[in-house]
Amino acid sequence: MSQGVSEGMSQSLSALQSGGASPLADASAPAFGVYLHWPFCASKCPYCDFNSHVRDAVDTAAWQEALCAELEDAAAHLWANPPDAPRQVASVFFGGGTPSLMPPECVAAILEKVQALWQSLDAIEITLECNPSDLDEARCRGLRDAGVNRLSIGVQSFDDAVLSFLGRRHDGAQARAALTAACKTFPRVSLDMIYAHPEQSVRAWREDLHQGLAFATEHVSAYQLTLEPNTPFYAQARRGVFSVPGEDAALALWNETQEATVRAGLVRYETSNHARGGVAGASRHNLEIWRGGDYAAIGPGAHGRTTIETSAHGRTTIETSAHGRTTIETSAHGRTTIETSAHGRTTIETSAHGRTTMETSAHGRTTMESRRQNEVQDKKRIAVSRIASPERWLALRSTGKDTLSEEQLLSADEIRDEIFLNGLRLSTGVSRARLTRETGYQDFQQALPADRLTSLVESGLLVLDETGLRTTEAGAVRLNAILGYLLALPAGDKKRAQEEQAQEVQGV
Ligand code: SF4
C-alpha cells in the first residue's frame, strides 16, 4: 500500500490545517464538527458492540468516493452554508471501526473534500483513531501528510496477558512502538486504556497505567470494561467463565486512575478523559459534542446533530440534493411546517400550552406531548443517523440514494435529556446560562424532578450552585445511575443515548 501523497495535495492540506484555505473565516460564524465512520476492523474484539465489521476485502476506492459523496450531500442538506451565516468546520474526527486501516490517500481525499465544501477554523482539529497494530513511522507520516493533526490510539493495555484476554491483535511491545512513532510525528496524541478486567489488582492497573503516562502524552482516556449485550464477553460472563470486579473493587481502580493521572499532571475534564491543562488539552471534537455542539454524520451508523436557528423574519430554507427541497418556516404564533418533497408532507404544530403534534402523511400519525411551558421558538435541533450496515450504506450512497435511517426533530424533553446526558459527563457540568439558552428553563428545579435533584445534592453526588449543576468526585463514578434516576429515561432511550455516546468514545 502506498502511503505517500502528491506534493500538491500535501500543500493544499497544509492550508486546511493552518486555516489558510479559509480567507473568509470569521470566528463568530457558527462552527461544527464532522464525524466520519470507517466501519472495518482486522478482527472483532470480544467486548466490542460498536458498528465494526471484519471483511476479507474492502474496495477503498468505492468507499472514498461514497464518503466524499456523503460529505457533498451533508453540505447541501442540514449543514448548508447560508450566505449570511456560513458555517465553519472546527473539527474532523475519523472514528470506527479502525480508521487507521484507511489508506492515507483516502484520508487526504476526504479532507480535501471537506476543505472544498466548507470554510474551516484556523485551529481545526483533525483526529484519527488508530490501532497500534497498524501504526508505524511510515503510516504516521502518511497520515500527517494527509492532514491529520491528532491521533487517538487504542492501546488498552501494555500487559500481554491482558491484551490477549481482550482479543487485541497487538502486544505490549507493539503498543510502545506505535506510541513512540506517534509521539515523534504528531504534536497531539491521545491513548485509550481499559481497566477493571477480571481479577485486576490496583497494583497491576497502576503499573499498566504508569506505562501509558510515561509517554507523556497530553491526553489519556481510561474506560472501565463494560459487558455489552450481544458480545462474546457478555455471554461468557453470564456462563460464569469470568466475572468483572464488583463495585468496591471497581471504585478502588477508579480512585487509582484519578490519583495516577493527577500525579502525571493530567486533569479529568470528563468522566473517562484526562488532559494536560484539563479542557485546554481536551479532544475539541468530543468536548463540543458534550457541550451540545453540532456535528455532521458521515458513514454507516454515524449519528449527527444540527441546530437550525430561524432568521429574524422566521423563515429558513434549506435545499438538499438527496431530498429535493425542504422548507422550514416558523411563524410568530408558533406554527412550524416542514415540507419534504420526497417524503410527503410533515406538519409539526406547537401550541402555546406546549403540546406538539407530528403528522406525516407517509408514515401515519405520531403525537408527542411536552411538559415544558416556555417553548423556545427560534431553535430547532435535529438528530440524524445513518444506516448501519456497511454494504447497504455503500449500495445506497453509490447509487445516489439517501442513507439516513433517522432524521428527527428533537422534542423539548429530548433536548433537555441530551443536555444532561452529555453535560454532566463534563467536570464543569451544565451551566445555568446553557440551561436557559438551550431549554428556556430558568432553573434546574424546573427542568428536572425537584425532589430527586435535592436528594442527589444532599447525598453529595451533585453540586448545585450559582454557576450550574455538576457531579462531585463521588457522583462522577456513579454517573450512569444518577442520570437514570434524574431523567427517569425509558430503557430504549437510555440505550440510544449510550449508543450515541459510544460513537464519541470508542477506541480501536
Ligand atoms: S474495539 Fe476497536 S478494534 Fe476492536 S472490534 Fe471494536 S472497533 Fe474494532
Q: Which secondary structure element, helix H or strand E, spans residue 117, and what is its range? A: helix 104-117
One pLDDT digit (tens) per residue for the chain, 508 residues: 332 323 333 333 343 443 333 323 334 557 999 999 999 999 999 999 999 999 999 999 999 999 999 999 999 887 776 667 778 999 999 999 999 999 999 999 999 999 999 999 999 999 999 999 999 999 999 999 999 999 999 999 999 999 999 999 999 999 999 999 999 999 999 999 999 999 999 999 999 999 999 987 799 999 999 999 999 999 999 999 999 999 999 999 999 999 999 999 999 999 999 999 999 999 999 999 999 999 999 999 999 999 876 544 443 444 333 443 344 444 433 334 444 444 444 444 443 333 334 444 443 333 333 333 334 446 789 999 999 999 999 999 999 999 999 999 999 889 999 999 999 999 999 999 999 988 889 999 999 999 999 999 999 999 999 999 999 999 999 999 999 999 975 554 444 454 444 444 444 5
Alpha carbon nearest to ligand 1 atom 2, residue: 508
Pair (267, 336) in one structural domain? no
DSSP designation for 411: P
Q: What angle do CA 362, 363, 366 make, to 5 degrees?
A: 130
Distance, CA 41 to ligand 1 centroid (Å)?
Answer: 6
Distance, CA 330 to ligand 1 centroid (Å)?
Answer: 44
Alpha carbon nearest to ligand 1 atom 3, residue: 508
| Cell of residue 380, nine digits | 430547532
Residue 161: phi and psi, rounded to 5, are: -65, -40
Q: What is the CATH number of the domain that holds 450?
A: 1.10.10
Pair (271, 331) in one structural domain? no
Distance, CA 320 to ligand 1 centroid (Å)?
Answer: 34
pLDDT of 87 reads 85
CA distances from 87 to 110, 119, 240, 295 (A): 18, 7, 52, 11
CA distances from 137 to 3, 42, 382 (A): 11, 20, 41
Q: What is the CATH number of the domain that holds 246?
A: 3.80.30.20
Pair (340, 286) in one structural domain? no
For the chain, give the number of residues. Answer: 508
**Is 2 a domain residue?**
no
Instruction: Please state the domain count of the chain.
Output: 3
Q: Which residues line ligand 1 (CB under 6 A)?
A: 41, 44-45, 48, 50, 52, 96-98, 131, 154, 506-508
pLDDT of 368 reads 34
Q: Which atom of ligand 1 is nearest to the CA of 131?
A: 3
Pair (363, 286) in one structural domain? no
Pair (246, 332) in one structural domain? no
Query: What is the number of other CB atoms lying within 10 angstroms of the CB of residue 67?
Result: 24
List CB contacts of 105: < 8 A, sequence separation 6 or more: 2, 5, 146
Pair (138, 263) in one structural domain? yes
pTM for this predicted structure: 0.82
Distance, CA 463 to ligand 1 centroid (Å)?
Answer: 36
pLDDT of 376 reads 45
**Is 457 a domain residue?**
yes
Dist. CA 233–CA 223, nearest whole Å: 16
pLDDT of 308 reads 79
Distance, CA 32 to ligand 1 centroid (Å)?
Answer: 26
Q: Would you say 142 and 133 are in contact if contact means Cβ atoms under 8 Å apart?
A: no
Residue 430: phi and psi, rounded to 5, are: -110, 120
